[in-house]
Amino acid sequence: MGLMGKCAIVTGASRGIGRAIALELASQGARVVVNYSGSVEKAKQVVEEIQANGGEAIAVQADVANGESVQQLMQTALETYGSIDILVNNAGITRDNLLMRMKDDEWDDVINTNLKGVFLCTKAVTRQMMKQRAGRIINISSIVGVAGNPGQANYVAAKAGVIGLTKTTAQELASRNILVNAIAPGFITTEMTDGLPEDLKQAMLKQIPLAKLGQPEDIAKAVTFFASDSANYITGQTLQIDGGMVMA
């Protein structure tokens, strides 16, 4: 995939989809900055797994919704590996509620992490990527950002915003050879979806033509593709990885 020695920052990489992305990028030779926001233990495990497979990685704590914290993250990545070649904006949260019941802080928390976080991290790497005249930014949106989903007005607005941000950033940065794409996963088995009621999961399954839930690795492989030379002529796109759930 041509990622040997490249520095990749993956936000929210201590578990779930972010963890799979970090492992997959490392397996292709990238040196990975495993960003985490909570306890260091799980992030350390990801770093150790990468190192055990002969790769390079560090764990760096940062809250993607906080500008100063994001600056520190990018500075640490640059000081450690000397470049920032790939940014994967993966960190995300849900605070589900029906619109009429949604509290202001449920709205703010989700928009701040899932949308403002992408803006802050993208802005923070742009200067370095412009200097390098090369870079790849891959944003993890969601299929609900395309199709909508009752009970998730905050999350849907953020994820739809990420798709718009992807297009605009791709347009602004194309002349500097910085390529920006998004992935819109469907229903992927992670701790984020584990807690959903069984009847809801079964109802979802019925809407998936491939009749199974996705795995974090399904997303990680597409991220690696977007980061690689195979995607040299692709920017501003959103790839839906959802077992065929939404065809639009």
- Look up residue 122 and give its amino acid: T
31 forms beta bridges with 7
Which of 158, 38, 170, 34 lies closest to 108 in space, CA to CA? 158
Query: Of the listed 36, 81, 155, 233, which one is catalytic?
Result: 155
Query: Given the complex with ligand NAD, which of 174 and 196 has the nearer CB atom?
Result: 196
Cα–Cα distance, 61 to 83 (Å, whole number) = 19
Report whether 24 contacts 220 (CB < 8 A): yes
DSSP 195: T
Q: Does 17 bind ligand NAD (CB under 6 A)?
A: yes
Shorter beta-carbon distance to ligand NAD: residue 118 or 170? 118
Q: Can 81 be counted among the known catalytic residues? A: no
Instruction: CB nearer to ligand NAD: give 18 or 161.
Output: 18
- DSSP bridge pairs for 183: 140, 239
Residue 17 vs 137, nearer CB to ligand NAD? 17
**What is the CB neighbour count within 10 angstroms for residue 42?**
17
Cα 167-169-172 angle, rounded to 5 deg: 110
Site for ligand NAD in 108-147 (CB under 6 A): 113, 117, 140, 142
Piece of the chain touching ligand NAD by CB under 6 A; list 59-67, 172-180, 203-211, 230-238:
59-67
Instruction: Quickly tell me which residue has 């992030």 as its tokens.
Output: 43
Q: Is 166 in the site for ligand NAD (CB under 6 A)?
A: no
Residue 185 interacts with ligand NAD (CB under 6 A): yes or no = yes
Which active-site residues does the annotation give?
155
Binding stretches for ligand NAD (CB under 6 A): 11-12, 14-18, 35-38, 63-65, 90-93, 113, 117, 140, 142, 185, 187-188, 190-193
